Structure 1
Amino acid sequence: MSTAETDQRTQEGLLALGLRQPPANIEAEQALLGALLTNNRAYDRVSDFLAGEHFANKVNGQIFDAIARRIEAGQLADPVTMRAEFEHSGILQSMGGLAYLAKLLTSMVGIINAGDYGRAIHDAWIRRQLIDIGETVVNNAFGVEGGLSGPNQIEAGEEALFRLATEKGKEGDFVPFHRALAGAIDVAALAFKSEGHVTGLTSGLRDLDKKTGGLHPSDLLILAGRPAMGKTALATKIAFSAARALLTEAEENGGKPKGSVAIFSLEMSAEQLATRILSEQAEVSGERIRRGDIGQKEFDRFVRVSHELARLPLVIDDTPAISLSAMRTRCRRLKRTQGLSLVVVDYLQLMRPSVGTRPESRVLEISMITQGLKAIAKELEVPVMALSQLSRQVESREDKRPMLSDLRESGSIEQDADAVMFVFRDEYYLQQRMPKETAFDSTDKYSAAMDDWQRKMSLVHNKAELILEKQRHGPTGTINLFFEGEYTRFADLDTMHDH
């Protein structure tokens, strides 16, 4: 085939595409309207998913909305009661006046088919939306809308598809109480049978699991703290423990892990995060690893542990300033391909809202991000743990323990979260208050101050507090943890327990 023939066929194909009519089912629209005007009970079959905007014929959509308004106001909507409204508004004028009303009544087949008509109308609307999204994607790719890079165009397209799928593509419905009750009993039975009464995914911290029952699907958990408190180290510990639990369960059952743990590290690179986990598990200081200041024995242990860790169902995405829509897409893909059991975000103030949105203020932007993270948790039915910075007002208080009001842009974070936890290390602040000899006019006073400081330091050395300030489904309170600064490692504080 010659180049000229190929070009001609391409042009004919494009012309044929341009001549194709958007999907529509005008007969179904007319039949449904006729059914509604004949018997208003037909409205109950379509009211939970259908709206006037879904009709391909604009006039049919306006008629539907007018009928719906009367029915929802508890009034009768039939040809007699609607006639005055239609004449006054002029809705039917472009369709031939009241004669169109008579045509709608003759189009009615029966109200028993109303639900099928409604779904046919809605399906055609979804197809038209897909065509619009496709045209926008194509036009953006050709550069019609400037200012969007290729990756941003992908995110915008994915966001539009996600919005269509979640907001309009699915029908909501009531869950019968007996079904909800059965689910609640299953959860209670699982808690009763499981050791330690942990129904969710383990955090690797015994006392935290006791208070929360583990990490539960659909929950948004906020882990907050000031810099140097160990937020990332604690989140990494929880992510690692969850991944190890998934691997152990798979090995016991002789299969593959049923899910994976995803860490979105917006501040640290994947290599830095991996080094932290290696340092903790191999008990080799991360600083010494970076300097190469390790002996052969330590290096061998390092390699052995790295081989063990490589089997963990743990993935890291270190895209800086990742957008909410990109994160959602990657989580959905991971759930589909490998399974997904936990998402950790470090940290939410570094995220961007979905592509195409321009929040008016930083507070509104954070609100959109927290709402989006909660939506990811609910849609994918996984716990999402998001780290958050605290405002500097903590530093100005005598008692540096954080409170809910210390959360930056706290209103939306506190509102959307199912649990809010603060990590606090008194040792960090006390270390900064070490007495200086020059501040005292005598050696005795300096010695007394130093003794008092050392006594206080001994009480908080290697200790951390995890303050569970909010928990929607359980008790709050403070959990004491062991913290080893050399390996930035958190663990249970066993001195608090009887053996």
Structure 2
Amino acid sequence: MSGLFDAAAVQAEMPRNLAAEQSVLGAILTNNRAYEAVCDFLEPRHFYSPVNGWLFEQIQGLIQTGGVANPVTLKPLIDGADRLADVGGFKALVPILMNSFIGMPTVKGDATAIRQAWVQRELLQLSADMRDMIVTPDGNSPDEVVDYVENGLLTLAHGRQDVRQSSLSDAIQRVLQASEDASKRDGIVGVSSGYEGLDNIVGGFEPGTLTIIAGRPAMGKTAAGVGIAVRSAKRTGKRVLYWSGEVSAEAISQRIIASKTKIPVICIRSGKNRGRQLEDGKFSASTPLRQEQFDRMVVAARQSQEIPLVIDDTPAITVAKLYGIARRMARSKEGLSMIVVDYLALMRGTQQARRQGKYAEVSEISADLLALAKTLGVPVIALQQLNREVEKRDDKRPSKSDLRDSGNLEQDASVIMLLYREEYYLDQEGPPKQKPTESGDAWMTRVDQWEKHKDAVRGKALWIIDKNRQGETGTIQMLFDGPGTWFRDIAEGEGSEPW
């Protein structure tokens, strides 16, 4: 049999276990129940021999469609396969497989050996590709080589996830225990967002899930992401990783200081208090920040040092690179409780996905972020833009169908939260214009109504939970501090501590 399959070998030095491959196939053909022991982790691509991999695929197809896999049912498939003609077809193949069968107790171990040999081959191939890309660059920069290797390792890491199976009684016991634990944490099932209104609806961010926070520009996506990251880190005392692809770590820090000191971000950036507009339309001169303002900034800076937040502003990062950073943090003594991505479309997909267009790239990134969350056992919160269709509607309140670039975001996310600030749109549109046939009194009435409505929504925002896989949807009324770029729960009040 070894000579038969050696002809299909690509490289003789590659790790393989042909005896284990034949044993697994023979075991399943003798007793289809053997397939149940290996189907959760063994795939056709894991076989070294293309013939063995093809046979496993055919056997798998028969069993998964409710049929029986044995020499009789395989015969028409083998006889009709051109690829098996060179190895003797059905007459030469099946008897050898049947004779190679050792026994049911060995099938899982043999399948594990097959998969381990495949991982070794993939690592060798990855290292060979890396060497070729370095020796003969062909336009590949060192960063692209690193991205390629990291993505390959990420793919292998995802494939190593253990199968998790539970009896119903065991799962129910875990549910009861989790419910009891959550009741001791004010109903927080996962990682607290730091915002009471949001935690009341979603119960915290569940580890291993992807949450999408989306909005049009100026709706406060970064403010929401930073607020959740800071408040969660402070409340739980556990580290949060914040990746910012658009705003620098310094700019994030300015927001955090501004929220605490009530000094507008623009003043912190410039070191000056901005001048006020005078009656003639001109502005008074800007003045340097006062000493007491600098003192407040210093106090806020000291207090912020107690928040276990790590900011990474590496531009155009890949999920593989983010996984490497997060994995090291998760394995360290301090651990990792949450990852915030600001924002998803600014990440970079693989070269193959990029060649297929933005839709394919965002779909890949979304799926990889979900896999990252599951692999590390932490929640991932990803910010994302909404498409321009929102702006074209009279009612600009968004829905999850407005998500930009990929419908896969809606599928992958456990929670989708949309941001809406009506005040912004009222400012953009301005007061209503007088209609040609409208009387002055009627027009002034509409202007008065507009002004009252604008006053009612000033400093307000809505967090719309448009998808919640584990619970109900709903709308949360929030306060938004524009100069400080910070969200607060309504119940906290405008003058409350931001974090």
Out of 123, 127, 133, the position equivalent to 1:130 is 123
CA 1:27–1:481: 2 relative to 1, 3 Å: closer
Match of 1:164 in 2: 156
Deviation string, structure 1 residues 472-495 (Cα, Å, up to 9, x no partner):
222222211112222122112138
CA 1:193–1:66: 2 relative to 1, 3 Å: closer
Match of 1:286 in 2: 265
- 1:275 counterpart = 2:254: yes
Residues 265 and 346 in structure 1, CA contact (< 8 A), matched pair in contact too: yes
CA 1:275–1:181: 2 relative to 1, 3 Å: same
Distance in 1 between the 2:63 and 2:189 partners? 46
Match of 1:361 in 2: 357
- 1:241 counterpart = 2:216: no
Aligned pairs (5 A) from 1:310-329: 310-329=305-324
Aligned pairs (5 A) from 1:131-150: 131-143=124-136, 145-150=137-142
Residues 263 and 316 in structure 1, CA contact (< 8 A), matched pair in contact too: yes
- 1:470 counterpart = 2:461: no
CA 1:333–1:301: 2 relative to 1, 3 Å: same
Q: CA deviation at 1:355?
A: 4.4
Q: CA deviation at 1:341?
A: 1.2
Q: In the alignment, residue 141 of structure 2 is paired with which amino acid?
A: S
Between 1:100-109 and 1:223-232, the stretch displaced more is 100-109
Distance in 2 between the 1:389 and 1:328 partners? 23
Match of 1:199 in 2: 189
Distance in 1 between the 2:203 and 2:290 partners? 42
Out of 324, 330, 338, the position equivalent to 1:335 is 330
CA 1:59–1:295: 2 relative to 1, 3 Å: same
Deviation string, structure 1 residues 284-315 (Cα, Å, up to 9, x no partner):
22111122122111111211211121232101
- 1:110 counterpart = 2:100: no
Residues 434 and 450 in structure 1, CA contact (< 8 A), matched pair in contact too: no
CA 1:226–1:170: 2 relative to 1, 3 Å: closer
Q: In the alignment, residue 156 of structure 2 is paired with which amino acid?
A: L
Out of 218, 223, 232, the position equivalent to 2:222 is 232
Q: CA deviation at 1:424?
A: 1.7
Distance in 1 between the 2:74 and 2:24 partners? 16
Deviation string, structure 1 residues 252-306 (Cα, Å, up to 9, x no partner):
xxxxxxx311111111111011111111112222111122122111111211211
Match of 1:179 in 2: 170
Higher helix share: 1
Residues 209 and 379 in structure 2, CA contact (< 8 A), matched pair in contact too: yes
Q: Give the secondary structure class of the aligned counterpart of 2:483.
A: helix
Q: CA deviation at 1:200?
A: 2.4
CA 1:77–1:239: 2 relative to 1, 3 Å: same
Structure 1, unpaired ranges of 5+: 1-18, 248-258
Aligned pairs (5 A) from 1:25-36: 25-36=17-28
- 1:22 counterpart = 2:14: yes
CA 1:182–1:363: 2 relative to 1, 3 Å: same
Distance in 2 between the 1:274 and 1:44 partners? 53
Residues 188 and 199 in structure 2, CA contact (< 8 A), matched pair in contact too: yes
CA 1:399–1:280: 2 relative to 1, 3 Å: same
Q: CA deviation at 1:111?
A: 3.2
TM-score normalised by structure 2 residue count = 0.82
Match of 2:479 in 1: 482
Match of 1:10 in 2: none
CA 1:300–1:93: 2 relative to 1, 3 Å: same
Residues 217 and 377 in structure 1, CA contact (< 8 A), matched pair in contact too: yes
CA 1:61–1:240: 2 relative to 1, 3 Å: closer
Q: CA deviation at 1:358?
A: 3.4
CA 1:121–1:298: 2 relative to 1, 3 Å: same
Q: Give the secondary structure class of the aligned counterpart of 1:357.
A: helix
Q: CA deviation at 1:466?
A: 1.5
CA 1:179–1:303: 2 relative to 1, 3 Å: same
- 1:352 counterpart = 2:352: no
Deviation string, structure 1 residues 301-354 (Cα, Å, up to 9, x no partner):
211211121232101111222222222222222222242211111112222213
Q: CA deviation at 1:216?
A: 1.9
CA 1:52–1:311: 2 relative to 1, 3 Å: same
Residues 59 and 92 in structure 1, CA contact (< 8 A), matched pair in contact too: no
Residues 261 and 343 in structure 1, CA contact (< 8 A), matched pair in contact too: yes
Q: Give the secondary structure class of the aligned counterpart of 1:244.
A: helix
Out of 30, 35, 47, the position equivalent to 2:39 is 47
Deviation string, structure 1 residues 136-191 (Cα, Å, up to 9, x no partner):
11211212x52221121111111112212323x44535332223222211221122
Q: In the alignment, residue 128 of structure 1 is paired with which amino acid?
A: R
Q: Give the secondary structure class of the aligned counterpart of 1:358.
A: helix
Match of 1:218 in 2: 208
Deviation string, structure 1 residues 375-425 (Cα, Å, up to 9, x no partner):
222222222221122222322333222222332236222222222222222
Structure 2, unpaired ranges of 5+: 1-10, 273-288, 494-499
Matched residues, number: 463
Distance in 1 between the 2:236 and 2:353 partners? 37
CA 1:51–1:403: 2 relative to 1, 3 Å: closer
Q: In the alignment, residue 198 of structure 2 is paired with which amino acid?
A: L
Residues 154 and 323 in structure 2, CA contact (< 8 A), matched pair in contact too: no
Distance in 2 between the 1:425 and 1:100 partners? 69
Q: Give the secondary structure class of the aligned counterpart of 1:56.
A: coil
Q: In the alignment, residue 467 of structure 1 is paired with which amino acid?
A: I
Distance in 1 between the 2:113 and 2:307 partners? 47
Distance in 2 between the 1:66 and 1:436 partners? 69
Residues 70 and 77 in structure 1, CA contact (< 8 A), matched pair in contact too: no
Match of 1:386 in 2: 382
Q: In the alignment, residue 300 of structure 2 is paired with which amino acid?
A: V
Residues 261 and 314 in structure 1, CA contact (< 8 A), matched pair in contact too: yes
Residues 353 and 364 in structure 2, CA contact (< 8 A), matched pair in contact too: no
Q: Give the secondary structure class of the aligned counterpart of 2:16.
A: coil
CA 1:85–1:342: 2 relative to 1, 3 Å: closer
Q: Give the secondary structure class of the aligned counterpart of 1:487.
A: coil
RMSD in angstroms over aligned alpha carbons?
3.3
Q: CA deviation at 1:70?
A: 5.3
Residues 194 and 232 in structure 2, CA contact (< 8 A), matched pair in contact too: yes
Residues 423 and 457 in structure 2, CA contact (< 8 A), matched pair in contact too: yes
Distance in 1 between the 2:382 and 2:55 partners? 47
Q: In the alignment, residue 298 of structure 1 is paired with which amino acid?
A: Q
Q: In the alignment, residue 374 of structure 2 is paired with which amino acid?
A: K
Q: Give the secondary structure class of the aligned counterpart of 2:356.
A: coil
TM-score normalised by structure 1 residue count = 0.82
